[in-house]
Structure 1
Amino acid sequence: MTRGDQKGLRDAASNVGLTHKGPSPSQNQSKHSAAFLNTARSTAARDPKANNNNGTPKFGNKKLPNAIIVGVKKGGTRAVLEFIRVHPDVRAMGTEPHFFDRNFDKGLDWYRSLMPRTLDTQITMEKTPSYFVTKEAPKRISNLSRDTKLIVVVRNPVTRAISDYTQTLSKKPDIPSFEDLAFKNRSLGLVDTSWNAIRIGMYVLHLENWLQYFPLSQIHFVSGERLITDPAGELGRIQDFLGLKRIVTDKHFYFNKTKGFPCLKKPESSSLPRCLGKSKGRTHVQIDQEVIEQLRDFYRPYNFRFYEMVGHNFRWD
């Protein structure tokens, strides 16, 4: 893409109201948005025509996301999205648009049409975990809006790979064993980095690509492990990063012992709590401990470089 193309893309985004400027929502704006949304919901309840196909009030405009959860697959991205969208100043897509990897040729109008309607004081979000490992994604997002805030949910790359394999196995029970896919030569300890489940966990290599287009200050890293043990703490840091008042707190969560995962307490309008789907918290495939140790040895140097780059030790080693 030439510089002229990049400028044209940004101009097009501005012309259709996709670029976003100005400060993050303040506490007063949070109160205003919450009150406005309550009014909108009441109106929608009285008038079904006031809703769109997703049951969302037709207030506000469809805008380019201010923040995107760009990764990683099987890191906890769905949990982060569901937890943060409890905030009254956040509106998020429920599905993954895959605009910056698979559907870029469909254009801005298509991408914009997928977004929920938001007020000027609200943040629009989407999540597509595959963006983090897509070479073209950071450049495309930067060309569209250099102000976009990025969220990356990471977890121990070994357990992430096993979780990834477990999910695939549930859909394709005839695939080779984890060990056969993970190694070119297990006796020599040669890991097959061409296998996507392994490659995703080499976080530092992917991050180097993103840092060519975004400063580290615009990327927030969420610990997938702490998201389970301390969801309120992780959500507090996410809200700070997004410039939001800390509204989602520990009072919103309880730990589901059956799933081994935190769930949202039931909202006043519902008789049931909100837990993630049955695939979340599914039992992992049992992997030989020697294989796990070999993968830990493989990932260790990548992990240490990642810790150094982001300035935080996730203690996976």
Structure 2
Amino acid sequence: MTRENITDILCIGCQKGSTSWLHSVLNSHPMTHSFPSSGPLTSTDKEAHFWDWNHERGVDWYRTLVTPPNPAKLSMDFTPEYAFLPAEHIAECKALNPTAKVIYILRDPMARAVSALRMHMLWRYGKDHAEPLHHDDEFLTLVRNSRITLHGAFLQNLRAWQKHYPDMMVLNYEDFHNDRAASVARIFAALGLDTNEMDEGSQRRVDRLIDGGRVWESEKFPMDRSVLMFLQGLTWRVRQACESELTMRFAEGEQLLNG
């Protein structure tokens, strides 16, 4: 069987947009394939990081990593850093994966930034860090290191990818979680995955994830209100543009400010 794509299902983020959760849901289907975890070259069996970490290893390395033993299965690569690839790398991706299904999950830009900072705080300080994050030089360093603006440049990233994948799937994180069962059903259908092919164990795994199961959750490190206000200002234009141009509605950021 000749494969059209190296990667059949490509999720480009957003970071902290439940990409790990969606990967776990799709990985439960018998007709999908996750590459073997190859850390530190890859991030578990989810993020191949070909175009950002491993591009110099060459296309054959990527093909060997991702191609399933059963060529009928759909291979997956869920790497949020792909969202802001340069144009030449997106074009190369299209050449290697001409009929891939590309998924981009968008989340309230401020809430996404808060979650990303908490993830970086966990990596830097560990779980027991109790001091609130203040608006100071250390905070600004975290903002730079977590690449808030690159990960949060939703429309810029979307337009760059839509030049090559005009029919890519764009999902709203909040819609995604307000009705998980319906969202999962729509995504399975869009990817051509028949739920009738799932055995009892696979269906139970998906049901647990739909019923509130989490794959990764950032620690709820405290943040000063000044930090939240700064992030609101930093992400405000992106939020307004998404709500205007994509007719998406976000509520998480306001909830954070009012909570």
TM-score in terms of structure 2 length: 0.74
Q: Which residue of 2 aligns with 1:238?
A: 187
Letter in structure 1 aligned against 2:155: V
Distance 2:190 2:247 in 1: 16
CA gap 1:178/1:224 in 2 versus in 1, 3 angstroms? farther
* Shift in alpha-carbon separation, 1:172–1:92, aligned structure 2, 3 A: same
Match of 2:240 in 1: 304
Say if 1:156 and 1:116 are closer, same or farther in 2 by CA, change over 3 A: same
Corresponding position: 1:80 with 2:41? no
Structure 1 residues 123, 161: closer, same or farther in 2, change over 3 A? same
Give the Cα separation in 1 of the matches to 2:80 and 2:154: 13
SS of the equivalent of 1:65 reads coil
Matched, 1:162 2:162: no
* Counterpart-to-counterpart distance in 2, 1:196 and 1:135: 15
The residue number in structure 2 matching 1:70 is 12
1:91 aligns with 2:33: yes
The 8 Å contact of residues 120 and 146 in structure 2, kept in 1 or not, is answered as no
| AA of the residue aligned to 2:95 | N
With CA pairs under 8 Å and 6+ residues apart, which has the higher RCO, 1 or 2? 2
**Shift in Å at residue 193 of structure 1?**
7.5
- Name the one with the larger strand percent: 1
Q: Greater CA radius of gyration, 1 or 2?
A: 1
CA contact (8 A) 1:182 1:198 kept: no
1:232–1:250 CA contact under 8 A, matched in 2 = no
Q: 2:212 — aligned with what? A: 262
CA drift at 1:163 = 1.6
For 1:287, which of 223, 240, 248 is the aligned residue? 223
> Alpha-carbon deviation of 1:311?
4.8
> Quick check: 1:67–1:148 contact (8 Å CA) kept in 2?
yes
User: In 2, distance between residues paired with 1:193 and 1:283?
Assistant: 20
8 A contact 1:100–1:140 mirrored in 2: no
Aligned-residue offset at 1:195: 5.9
CA distance in 1, matches of 2:155, 2:115: 20
Deviation at 1:236, TM superposition (A): 1.5
Aligned match of 1:135: 86
- Unaligned ranges ≥5, structure 1: 1-15, 21-63, 185-191, 264-274
Structure 1 vs Structure 2 CA RMSD:
3.4
Q: Cα offset for 1:114?
A: 0.9
Task: Output the amino acid matched with 1:158.
Answer: M
TM-score (normalised: structure 1): 0.62
1:68 Cα offset (Å): 0.7
Equivalent pair of 2:106/2:171 in contact (CA under 8 Å)? yes
What amino acid is the match of 1:303? Answer: R
Match of 2:173 in 1: 224
1:287 counterpart letter in structure 2: M
| CA deviation string 1:245-284 (max 9, x = no partner) | 345899632479xxxx822xxxxxxxxxxx62xxx22432
Offset at 1:76?
1.0
Flag structure 2 segments of 5+ consecutive residues without an equivalent: 36-44, 127-131, 255-259
The aligned residue for residue 257 of structure 2 is none
